[in-house]
Each structure stands twice: as structure tokens, then as C-alpha cells.
Amino acid sequence: MADPRELYQQVILEHNKKPRNFGKIHSCTHQAEGHNPLCGDQLYLTLIVQEGIIEDIQFEGRGCAIDVSSASLMTTAVKGKTVQDALKLIQAFRALVRGEWNPAAHGDLGKLVVFQGVKNLPVRVKCAVLPWATLQSALDGSPIASTE
């Protein structure tokens, strides 16, 4: 089995300690809450989407380092992007943690490749995916996402 220490790289530890875009947008246009019932992780996403562009995004909640850093990096990755690009990124990220990511097909993932190691820890895939599943729900207009 791969050493999980390879997953817990500096970028993940650092985003866990100092999450970006942590908070709540009161005048949001889109929102969703995500739950991982198995471990009790909870996440609240609020967004401002105008003319198909994610102008702002913030998250609140509690979870493990993988969940929190994934949410933090996700917000930095999708802020300023079009909804269409964000939806593509969600698919690419899901492929990454399943070990099916192919840059030619899914596009570049930038810093998000640090989550590649999650594929070796099947029980932790849900932690990494929760923020992305919640974003998908928010953009689809469904208020609750669950990893179960």
C-alpha cells in the first residue's frame, strides 16, 4: 500500500491550516450543503454566479484535512471561471481521485494534482470528493449533496 504521507503534502497541510475563501456569502445566488454521513463531515457552499461566471465562492464546515484542503483548493480553482468550466473541472477531479484522470481528455488540473494519491486510499475518496459534489449540487440548484 502506498504511504499516505505522500498524500499529506505541504500544500494539503497548508490549505488545511489556513483554508482560503472560508466563510459565508450572505447575498449569494447559489448555495448547497454537503454531508458525508459516514464520518460526519459537513460543508456549506455559497456562491455568486452572474452571467455564467462564478464571481465569488466561499465555504464553511468541518472535516478532515483532505476534505478542508480539497474545498479550499476548489474555491481558488473555480473562482472567476465560467459555470461550464467549473462543471468540467468537477468531472476531471472525480476522475483524478478514481485514478482515471487523463490530461488529454480531462484537461489540466494545476495544483489539484496533489489529490492524486487519494486513489490509493479508497476510504478517503469521499472526503476529497465532498466539496466537489456539493459544488455540483449548488450549480444544479439542488440544495443537499451526500456522498452516500
Partner 1 sequence: MTYSVSDIRKDFPLLDRPFHEKPLYYLDSAVSGQMPSSVSERMRQYEMYEHTNVHRGVSTLSQQATDHFEKARDTVARFLKASSSKEIIWTRGTTEAINLVAQTWGRQNIQAGDTICLTEMEHHANIVPWQMLSQSVGAHLAVIPVSDRGELRLDELSKVLSPKTKVLALTHVSNVLGTINPIKKIITEAKKQIPSLMVLVDGAQAVAHLPVDVQDLGADFYTFSGHKLSGPTGIGVLYGRKALLDAMPPWHGGGNMILSVTWDRTTYIEAPGKFEAGTPPIAAAIGLGEAIEYLSKFNPQDVHAHEQHLLRRASEGLKKIPGLRILGESSDKVSVISFVVDGVHPHDLGTLLDHEGIVIRAGHHCAQPLMDRFQVPATTRASIAYYNNESDVDALIQATQKSVEMFHG
Question: Rule CB under 8 A: which residues touch partner 1?
Answer: 1, 3-5, 8, 13, 17, 39-41, 62-66, 68, 121, 123-124, 127
How far is CA 59 from its chain centroid?
10
Closest separation in Å from C-beta 39 to partner 1? 6
Question: Is the Cβ of residue 12 or residue 89 nearer to partner 1 in the bound state?
Answer: 12
Closest separation in Å from C-beta 86 to partner 1? 26
* Phi, psi (rounded to 5 degrees) for 56: -150, 150
Compute the 3-state secondary structure of the chain and give helix, strand, coil in percent, each to the nearest 5. 50, 20, 30
Question: Is the Cβ of residue 127 or residue 138 nearer to partner 1 in the bound state?
Answer: 127
Question: Is the Cβ of residue 34 or residue 63 nearer to partner 1 in the bound state?
Answer: 63
Question: Is the Cβ of residue 40 or residue 141 nearer to partner 1 in the bound state?
Answer: 40
Closest separation in Å from C-beta 1 to partner 1? 5
Laid out side by side, the sheet with 41-50 consists of 53-62, 41-50, 30-36, 144-146
- In 7-146, which ranges are E strands? 30-36, 41-50, 53-62, 144-146
